[in-house]
Structure 1
Amino acid sequence: MYIFWFLMATSVAEIGPTTITTQEECKETRCKPHGPAIRFPFRLRGSQPNHCGYPGFDLSCSQSKQTILELPNSVNLSVKHINYEGQQIHVYDSDGCLARKLPNLNLSATGFKFSVEEYSLNNWTVFNCSSDYVHYISKYYRIPCLSNQGHVVQYSDSGDDPLRSPLLTCSRIFDVFKTPGEFLHYKKQVFRLDWFRPNCSVCEVQRLGCHSQTNSTGDVKCFSIPRQPKGFSRHSRDVIVTGVVLCSFLVMLVVITGLYLVYRSKKQEKESAVKIEKFLEDYKALKPTRYVYADIKRITDNFKEKLGQGGYGTVFKGRLSNDILVAVKVLNNFKGDGEEFINEVGSMGRVHHINVARLGGFCADGYKRALVYEYLPNESLEKYIVSAKGGRRCLSWEKLEDIAVGIAKGIEYLHHGCEQRILHFDIKPHNILLDENFNPKISDFGLAKLCTKDQSVVSMMTARGTVGYIAPEVLSRNFGNVSYKSDVYSFGMLLLEMIKGRKDIEIAVEDRSQVNFPGWLYSHLDEREEQGISTEGESFNIIAKKLAIVGLCCIQWHPVDRPSMNVVVQMLQGVGNNLNVPPNPFISTDGMNPMATGGLPNQGLQIIPESE
């Protein structure tokens, strides 16, 4: 230890008294305990002399103890972090409106530059626009912090043709040059500035101090940072004593905590064993339970409360226990020995997804068939779409978007996430059930078919599904082969039905049922006549437009032209402004409806048999 102090004292002695005095004046400091360290080439204005820093590298402390980088033209930016080895400083505008300071930000007069690794620099022109033009201007180019209810501030690439720009009716405010576009519309963007001179990175890597040479070329010199040369000062002894006391206290605290944990672990040992046993019992419920018909009658209290009636059966409310409610679907006219039914139920019983109704049990007692599903209190999506037209109950656009994403994820799981690919063939609002939080769950797999994952096409003897949601190829093979893309078409029609059901969608026809709604959407999206979708705010308008475009992509006549469900999920979760309107299948090159001309040619997909 004494040899170490001797060597350090010798190093300090070689530095000389003038250097030591400089180091005392320019020692590292901070605005607050956990704030960025301030040392050469930076200096703290008002606390350190000019020679402690490099010209133009002045920092200051705000009243709230924030570290501030002072740049020319009174541009002050808050400092998040300083990387001395990489010679990078991360700054941001504490007011949340960096765009307001960009006209005065002139980095050419400083030693800093934008990071070319992180940003694409460009020239931008900022405009002041009337709020009347908000529907014609992309929200992506808006500067929120400079806009208000009376006017909207937008920006565009200075190289754009002004005669073709939607900003032609707006007035120019200012230009910014060689600046990342993100800085104009982000509220609190932390961005990076680099400096190249003075270059202290070599000193920093070696944990040495750095200071300027006497010349003005920006050259620097490294020096050893001095330490206590001999013995210990009174302050050092106080620090050591305090450290010993704190260490003793921490050791005692660790011992007490350890004893308490041992006591508590023994106390919870029996509780843990009980929890494990309960978990094992609950785990058995994850697999479908086979009931006899007497059990079904007991669960439903002799079919006391009817929830709904469908083409394939009647649904009753049931109760497995005081806390567990179920929906029991009693199937009609089910023939056969039951083995095919049990095999299908066995496959569906292994499907577990948040957006697929869980099958808890089944009944195959003679010719009597029943399915036991989880109970979903908000019933089907159809009730909210139909009632929305009458104005009684209506889901918000945000909730409709969440429901659409959930349904898409459920179908994607059926197509790609199961051991065998499951094709539903009856996606429609009536078969989308909603739980207490309006999370969607796909139900009613009465028409579902199974195939292996490497098989994409199935053969069918007869059409199946609900009119209005059946894909064209299910009705006529002239449109292509039946595959998982048939579910994509049904999902697209479901999306359009969700939009059509909104009471704030204005269609200039008294009877909506007489309107070719997909064609109506195409005419408005293609002609940019978005006033046809008049809603309460622009954010809702964007959601409606995104759902419409995704729905139109899914209902293309030919299966090959439709996206897969994993692509649909990405489209729904992305930004609506990035989506392009797909080709209009309702208008062919000769002006005829594809349905009337027999559809599109077969693409040669391999037809495979249905799985047993």
Structure 2
Amino acid sequence: MATVAVLILHVFTHFLVLSSAENCPAFSCNKVIDKLSFPFKNKTQNFPECGYYTVDCSDRPAPPKIQLKEGGYWFQFKSIAQSGTVLINDSKLQERIKNLETNDCHDDIFSDLSPPSSSPIVNISAHNLTLFRCNNTLDNTPSDDPYYACRNENYTYYTVSYDGLDCSAIHIPILPPSPSSVYNLSALTAKFPLQVQFTKECTQCYTIGGKCFDYYGKFKCDRGECWDDEKGVYKCEKAGDQICRLKLGLGVAAGVVALVVVYYCCYVWEKKRQDRQNVEAFLRNYVPLQVKGYSYLNVKKMTNSFKEKLGQGGYGGVYKGKLNDGCLVAVKVLNRSKGNGEEFMNEVAAISRTSHVNIVSLLGFCFEGSKRALIYEFMPNGSLEKFIFDANNPQKVHHLGWEALERISLGIARGLEYLHRGCNTRILHFDIKPHNILLDENFLPKISDFGLAKICDRKESIVSMLYARGTAGYIAPEVFCRSFGGVSHKSDVYSYGMMLSEMAGGRRNINVEAENTSEIYFPHWIYKRLELDEELGLHGIKSEEDKARARKLIIVSLWCIQTDPSNRPAMKEVIEMLEGSVESLKIPPKPYLSSPAKSPAVADSSCTLVSIQ
């Protein structure tokens, strides 16, 4: 039984055996680029089912070339790993990239560098920089802006999306990041790994003897002439067709029963082993090459046997460490109780898809038996939480000041807007709170802790969830109670609004120790003051500018925590409100002010919110 389980896992993870043997035989270019098949096709193979990416081996002894997009640039093809990682090393394109440092940015170079998009059959991943190509509509380009990249006659390129400009996102490969780097054009490279992996649906299609097709943007599994799509059964149209006779003889029911028995036995007798192999396969196939793997002994060494603890999260402790080159890191050691590796893979899968100045960078990992750890860039100023809460002195004045709070809130909003719209896939964080916002040496905010994140298609407006996820006090009503609407990116907006309210108030939203009942729930208390046009009564306001910033943060937070998700702004609109004047902001309708469940539970459409009057 163990042998069968290993064989099944091997078939699931080894995608290069997928091919159409009749029309698309495997081919070789040299000893390194050998036995290629679907999704790679030879230049002479004109059948659409042969593959997505054309390889030209004809120009020997010159290196092989690969075309990642139909009619696109021909890259120099260096090698391919068994895991499906293609290594591009194009010296000619690298020379063209160097010219970008001295000349105006060249649209054609960016277009040539841009990797292909994922499809219903193949997932594509690489370490990318997202640039926003904007039409030149401003008189003066802010070249001193930290998000400015370069410009030419037609376009200006930024690392964030500027409101008011007509922009489109492009993704281009860059060198691996250093712990505190801000990406710019000097990091562009024509030597990069590109991971090509089959989707789960395509792999499952192969295991039942089918072939994968991209049918007008949708996945289709073709199981051959013996399969009747309408009836969902095998048929035998030709009396002499031995394949059909074999399939008919075995019977679909027998095959299903056999699979159920095999998977049940594997689940019962080999679950721990499968969990470990799943994570190992995931690390081989999805983790970028520049994210280094470390042994547990190395993790103990870099943390000095976990001497300095930085904090404690829901999934484990975080410790300060140092790499061999002297670079400081934060090491997140995961709890043993999470033995199946779900949160480990979830966090790595989400964060490895990101490249943004307001998202923390993953530098390495450890997966050794039951020992699991994630290694991140070190944030000297720790979490935002310690700057806005003080259990010993609830009336403490802000450490940061209102200008810094406004700047931090804008940075977090830009990071969330990137997760929702800037990535190839949409990432919903589901745990936005002060504890998960880290500050670097310049108090630049970075979103961290993607253990509860959910990756979904950018076209998906509503996502499905089996259970609520998040932290009590920040969970949107619809996440734990479906009668309030569908779960979407607006659920992150609600969490952001609750956090913004705490940043402005300098206290937790619910204070059970408050002497005055009306002050227990801060958003309710502050909304009454806005309604009556009273002084906000917040600490640390020293000027009219501070007063305007405080009012702006409060109004934006109240818009974000509207009970109906459709009444909440998207993060792009939140950025516009934060960058605009407070005079242009309208006071939102009064939201239902709620006390959610103490911990995430299964969503129940019968649940209700309690209004605190």
TM tier relative to shorter chain: 0.3 to 0.5
TM-score by length of 2: 0.47
Return the TM-score normalized by structure 1: 0.47
Report which of the two structures shows the higher radius of gyration computed on alpha carbons.
1
Greater fraction helix: 1
